[in-house]
Structure 1
Amino acid sequence: MAGSTDQRRDEVLRAIVADYIASQEPVGSKALLERHHLNVSSATIRNDMAVLESEGYIVQQHASSGRIPTEKGYRQFVDSIHDIKPLSTAERRAIVGFLEEGVDLEDVLRRSVQLLAQLTRQAAVVQLPTLKVSRVKHCEVVPLSPVRLLLVLITDTGRVDQRNVELEEPLDPEQVLQLRDLLNDALVGKTLTDASTSLAELPEHAPAELRTAALFAATTLIETLVDQPSDRLILAGTSNLTRISRDFPVGLPLLIEALEEQVVVLKLLANVPDLGNVSVLIGEENENEELHSASIVTTAYGSDGAALGGLGVVGPTFMDYPGTISKVSAVARYVSRVLSGE
């Protein structure tokens, strides 16, 4: 019997969470009975609600009002979501169509956060692939003047970084090509961290007349790219949070400030789960105090089975968890497909 009582209480809790997410109004026993076919008396429901309240899953704000879920209640609700709600065909088609129009990796990711912000009506964030995981595909050397070069580094994740190098001696067009070949021999196929060793040794192996240019080019690449992998973020939809500001009891300005501080969000996205899994942090489960009034749903995107970065949404603790989880996971899946060229 205990099992079925617990099961029913779980059902009552799920119904309270679902109703509160839908209406943001406290939920009473009468409304629960009318909306959900729980097949029990109102006395039983009231008793279940009293037990759920004593166990800290729901709370009563005012003597006469219904109950609202606590963070513990939301956590229980999220942990009991087993099946991800499938997206409608129209939603799927819109996502794929919009992402496939992306011209390069950064454009695809920019589109993915715009989409997530629109689909969930919350703030969305994505991290560009860190240079730690991407490998160098090619390094182009463009002479801007006889003593000034532009190095263009292209990685296998579609990321492009550009650096200027000032030289002491002018190089002729033939020497520029030689320098390009030297750099590509040192870089292609390696992650930047691995490439730093061969870059450091590059001047020794260069022909005498190219040694200084090779030293300047290698130093520029090591100092600006290897030592400071620029983790960049793209954020969309923070204005969605101001729209629901009345529902953030405190701390909306703090939350928006935290989102605009890259470090806070990068920390969040540094711990994204493996490809295909979704993480949900609710309220005070977030390390950062500024995020205590929010819930955060994140996952990873990648190509060929390797995670390249994280993406997710930030919204109120009463967000539509099943819907948000399915949208975050679908967008990540389609981004991964587009990146893998499927």
Structure 2
Amino acid sequence: MSEERRLAVLRAIVEDYVHTREPVGSRVLTERHGLGVSPATIRNDMAALEDAGYIAQPHTSAGRVPTDKGYRLFVDRLAEVRPLTTPQRRAIETFLSEAVDLDDVLGRAGRLIAQLTGQVAVVQYPSLRLSGLRHLELVPVGGRRLLVVVITDTGRVEQRYLDVVGRPGQGAAVTAVETDAGALPGGGCDEPVLDEGSLGELRARLNAAAAGKRLSELPAAFVRVVGDLAPDLAPLARGVADLVVDTLGAEREERIVLAGTANLARAEMRFEQGLSPVLEALEEQVVLLGLLTEMFADPRGPRSDGESETETSWGESGVGVRIGHESRLDGLTEASVVASGYGSDGDTVAFLGSIGPTRMDYPGTIASVRAVARYLSRVLPN
């Protein structure tokens, strides 16, 4: 049997099944795809593909449907990513460029992916662990409290409070108070202990030390700042530095945006095991984040012994694909995840993607995810 013809038959089966959602027979392939051989020859090719595990017969007298292994071969070797149309590209760029802040741009990115693919979109907030410090602001509040505003290079804003006891020059001590910016901690407004001169100097030194550095580099940079300051400012500087590092490194702050969940209820999104397992998997945001992070390291997923080493590479396409059981998540055994990283200045700071049935339009989904990731990278703060 011709290897090229076998691949052509598999491509035709995948494309027809994705389009019709019905098992594909040899006669249909002959009529629709002009493969240039008889139905009997195509049946022989289909039997070989079935023996190799690329297609399966769901029930007697039915046509064939792709397996996870068949979809994988299709994605790795057969799928041709369709470029978006000029109107689609312009619509994406315009829609994202109109966002007013980080929350808005990520929400818009999710809605775009869901609309373009007709599936569920997942967009990770820029990881604080992968972010750098763009600017640090110190604002005295109520005399004895300091509002520390951390602005990352991805536009994310985090706000924390420090309680300050004593005065610079008198061995000031600090205590971190983790509260939302809108909820000022309680306590009396005693005589101010923080003067603008000291805060201005501390602010300038910490910002200068953090310029162009990632989280992993900040502790050492801040240690040098504390060591160079006069003893009266050192405790306050150490407290602010520790709070900034803890804030940027806090895994509890990782979160995602989901959009298009209602798309799962559409008839064409049918799952054999029902919708509940998929919805439950989507609710496990920590698990989803772990999957996206793992895909960055190995976009193709675990390979069985003797299986081809061919894989969809993040380096080449910028998009990773996990199909069915490759995700190793019970709720997503009938689903595929197509994801890409995004970030400014060529640095990946987070991931986004689309989740739908394994019977998805892979070329269209890959193109949509890749396009939104690229445009999102462009509109992020530089």
**Offset, 1:245:** 8.2
SS of structure 2 residue aligned to 1:190: coil
Provide the TM-score with structure 1 as the length reference: 0.89
Residue in 2 aligned with 1:188? 211
Q: Which moved more, 1:261-270 or 1:90-99?
A: 261-270
Deviation digits for residues 78-132 of structure 1, max 9, x if unmatched? 1223532111122111111111112234432321121001110111112222233
In structure 2, the CA distance between the partners of 1:33 and 1:219, relative to structure 1 (3 Å rule), is same
Q: 1:227 Cα deviation (Å)? A: 5.3
What is the letter of the counterpart of residue 91 of structure 1? Answer: Q
Mapped to 2, the partners of 1:108 and 1:274 lie a distance apart of: 25
Partners of 1:123 and 1:240 within 8 A in 2: yes
Offset, 1:295: 0.7
2:19 corresponds, among 14, 19, 22, to: 22
**TM-score normalised by structure 2 residue count:** 0.81
Q: Mapping of 1:249-328 within 5 angstroms? A: 249-250=272-273, 252-270=275-293, 271-272=295-296, 273-274=314-315, 276-328=317-369
Aligned to 1:113: 110
In the alignment, is the contact (CA less than 8 A) between 1:300 and 1:307 conserved in 2?
Answer: yes
Measured in 1, the distance between the counterparts of 2:287 and 2:156 equals: 23
Cα contact 1:279–1:298 (8 A) shared by 2: yes
Distance 1:114 1:76 in 2: 30
The answer on 1:152 being equivalent to 2:121 is no
> Partner of 1:213 in structure 2?
236
CA-CA distance at 1:315 after TM superposition:
0.8
Taking the TM superposition and a 5 Å limit, the aligned residue runs for 1:33-44 are 33-44=30-41
Q: Is the 8 A contact 1:122 1:314 kept in 2?
A: yes
CA RMSD of aligned residues (A): 2.4
Residue type of the alignment partner of 2:33? H
Alpha-carbon contact 1:275-1:302 (below 8 Å) kept:
no
Counterparts of 2:208 and 2:344, CA distance in 1 = 25
1:136-170, CA deviations, whole angstroms, 9 ceiling, x for partnerless residues? Answer: 12111122221112111112222222111111132
CA distance in structure 2 between the aligned counterparts of 1:340 and 1:136, rounded to whole angstroms: 12
SS at match of 1:167: strand
- Alignment partners' CA distance in 2, 1:246 and 1:17: 16
How far apart are the structure 2 equivalents of 1:219 and 1:277?
Answer: 36
Q: Give the superposition deviation at 1:230.
A: 3.0
Shift of 1:25: 1.0
- Aligned residue identity for 2:380: L
Q: CA deviation at 1:318?
A: 0.3
C-alpha distance in 2 between matches for 1:225 and 1:42: 62
| Counterpart mapping for 1:208-247 below 5 A | 208-226=231-249, 228=251, 230-244=253-267, 247=270
User: Which of 85, 93, 96 is 1:96 aligned to?
Assistant: 93
In structure 1, the residue corresponding to 2:29 is in which secondary structure? helix
How many Å separate the matches in 2 of 1:150 and 1:217?
Answer: 10
Letter in 1 for 2:320: S
- The 1:253–1:284 alpha-carbon spacing in structure 2 relative to 1, beyond 3 Å, is same
1:54 positional shift: 2.2
The residue identity in structure 2 corresponding to 1:335 is L
* Paired amino acid for 1:243: R
- Distance in 2 (CA, whole Å) between partners of 1:275 and 1:338 is 22
Bigger mean CA deviation after superposition, 8-17 or 303-312 = 303-312
Counting matched residue pairs gives 338
> Once structures 1 and 2 are overlaid, which stretch shifts more, 201-210 or 216-225?
201-210
Please say if 1:135 is aligned against 2:132: yes
1:276–1:333 Cα contact (<8 Å) kept: no
In structure 2, the partner of 1:50 is 47
- Offset of residue 246 of structure 1: 6.5
Q: Letter of the aligned partner of 1:71 in structure 2?
A: D
| Distance change in 2, residues 1:222/1:47 (3 Å) | closer
For residues 231 and 7 of structure 2, the distance between their equivalents in structure 1, rounded to whole angstroms, comes to 76
In 2, distance between residues paired with 1:219 and 1:132? 14
Deviation at 1:20, TM superposition (A): 0.6
| CA–CA separation in structure 1 for the residues paired with 2:196 and 2:22 | 72
Instruction: Look up the equivalent residue of 1:255 and give its one-letter code.
Output: V
